[in-house]
Structure 1
Amino acid sequence: MSFTWQLRAGVAAGVLVPVVLWIDGATRAGYSLWHHGASQLGTGDRGWLQTINFALGGTLLALFAAGLRRVLHPGLAARWAPILTATAAAGLLVAGFVPTDPALGYPPGEPEGLTATGGVHQVAGLALFAGLSAAALILARRAAETNRRNARLLKAGGILVIVFAFAAGIAYRLDTLGVWQPAPAGLLEHLSLLAGFGWVAVTAVWLLRRPSAVAAPGGIVSGRSG
Structure 2
Amino acid sequence: MTIAATRTHVALPARTLLVCGAVSGPLYFLTTLTQAAVRDGFDLTKHPASMLSNGDAGWIQVTNFLLTGVLMIAGAIGLSRTLEPGIGSTWGPRLLGVFGASLLFAAVFKADPGNGFPAGSGPGTISTAGVLHMAAGSVGFLSLIVATFVLASRFSREGRRGWAVYSRATGIAFFASFAGISSGNANAVVMLAFWATVMLAWGWVTAVVVHTARSAR
User: What TM-score do the two structures reach when normalised by structure 1?
Assistant: 0.84
* Alignment correspondent of 2:139: 127
More helix by share: 2
Partners of 2:194 and 2:68 in 1: how far apart?
Answer: 17
Give the Å deviation of 1:185.
4.8
The answer (yes or no) to whether the contact 1:31–1:106 under 8 Å persists in 2 is yes
- Alpha-carbon RMSD across the aligned residues, in angstroms, is 1.7
- Code of the residue aligned with 1:188 in structure 2: it is A
* Alignment correspondent of 2:58: 47
Give the unaligned 5+ runs of structure 1. 212-224
Deviations 1:141-191 (A, max 9, x none): 101123111111111222222222222223xx236xxxx5xx345423322
The answer (yes or no) to whether the contact 2:86–2:154 under 8 Å persists in 1 is no
Identity %: 31
* Alignment correspondent of 2:49: 38
The answer (yes or no) to whether the contact 1:26–1:33 under 8 Å persists in 2 is no
Give the Å deviation of 1:85.
0.6
* Alignment correspondent of 2:177: 164
Deviations 1:95-137 (A, max 9, x none): 0121111132212333521111101101110122111111111
Partners of 1:184 and 1:40 in 2: how far apart?
Answer: 18
* Alignment correspondent of 1:198: 203
Q: How many residue pairs are counted as aligned between the two chains?
A: 204
Give the unaligned 5+ runs of structure 2. 1-9
* Alignment correspondent of 1:221: none
Partners of 2:136 and 2:87 in 1: how far apart?
Answer: 25
The answer (yes or no) to whether the contact 2:40–2:118 under 8 Å persists in 1 is no
Give the direction of change, closer, same or farther, for the CA distance of 1:16–1:106 in structure 2 (3 Å limit).
Answer: same
- Asked whether 1:84 is paired with 2:89, we answer no
Deviations 1:34-84 (A, max 9, x none): 111111011124211111111000001001110111122333401211111
Give the Å deviation of 1:139.
0.7
The answer (yes or no) to whether the contact 2:148–2:170 under 8 Å persists in 1 is yes
Higher-RCO chain (CA-CA 8 Å, sequence separation at least 6): 1
User: What TM-score do the two structures reach when normalised by structure 2?
Assistant: 0.87
Q: In structure 2, the residue corresponding to 1:77 is in which secondary structure?
A: coil
Partners of 1:22 and 1:174 in 2: how far apart?
Answer: 23
Partners of 2:185 and 2:80 in 1: how far apart?
Answer: 41
Q: In structure 2, the residue corresponding to 1:78 is in which secondary structure?
A: coil
- Code of the residue aligned with 2:162 in structure 1: it is R
